[in-house]
Amino acid sequence: MRLTRLYSTMSNDDHWNDKILLLGVTGGVAAYKAADLASRWTQRGAKVRVRMTPSACRFVQPLTFEAVTRQPVTTEIWQPLGTGERPEHIGSGDDADLFVIAPASADHLARLAQGFGDDAVCLTALAWEGPLVICPAMNDRMWRNPAVQANVQLLRDRGATVVDPGVGHLACGSTGPGRLADLDDIDACVTGILGQKELS
């Protein structure tokens, strides 16, 4: 069943007002699609704070995300701290409502599963206790790899919501499962979680 239908009764722009979303972008071809998600959520009234891995910055410029979110983008963990300020990866957990990682590369799934903390996305995830939505995107053979599947299962078992990739044309030229899930489905999933959060 498409997630859009599953969450359709809960879709309501009110869920978005004054929400703070963390958006982690990792190194895959689908990184450009994350700019669309950031733009949609900003237009609905959310503050979208983007964290990018060094690989993600090779695919899309941080400036694109700064422009659509009108927020600074974090691309590295070594930032100067103002007086009394806590490191950003810790402070993120204080006021954000949801952390979405889209696209999540195969490499990043492994880093998340193993608890790595050496870039702005996995370090934020390591210190994050709120709802986490992970949207993998990769080549179909990579997606079928048992190591990738085991990491996805581990992350689900720990409570993350994984939005499975879609099936279809892949940038590498093959056809199969691996493309970033339809943005409407990711959107619907996130809207549903924000709605549930408001009810609880």
Give the footprint of ligand FMN on this chain (CB under 6 A): 26-30, 53, 55-56, 105-108, 119, 137-138, 142
Residue 67 or 172: which CB sits closer to ligand FMN?
172
Q: What 3-state class would DSSP assign to 167?
A: strand
Minimum distance between the CB of residue 170 and ligand FMN, rounded to whole angstroms? 8
Minimum distance between the CB of residue 193 and ligand FMN, rounded to whole angstroms? 23
Dihedral (C-alpha) 112, 118, 120, 121: value to the nearest 10 degrees? -10
Burial of residue 93 (CB within 10 Å: 0-12, 13-18, 19+) is middle
Q: What would the DSSP string read from start to end of 56-92?
A: HHHHS-HHHHHHHH-S--B--S-----TTPPPHHHHH
Catalytic residue chosen out of the listed positions 57, 122, 135, 172: 172
Residue 30 or 38: which CB sits closer to ligand FMN?
30
Tracing tokens 């206790």 back to the chain, one arrives at 129
Minimum distance between the CB of residue 31 and ligand FMN, rounded to whole angstroms? 8
Instruction: Note if 57 is an active site residue.
Output: no
Q: What is the rounded CA–CA span in Å between residue 182 and residue 187? A: 9
Residue 105 or 151: which CB sits closer to ligand FMN?
105
Query: Which of the residues are catalytic?
Result: 172
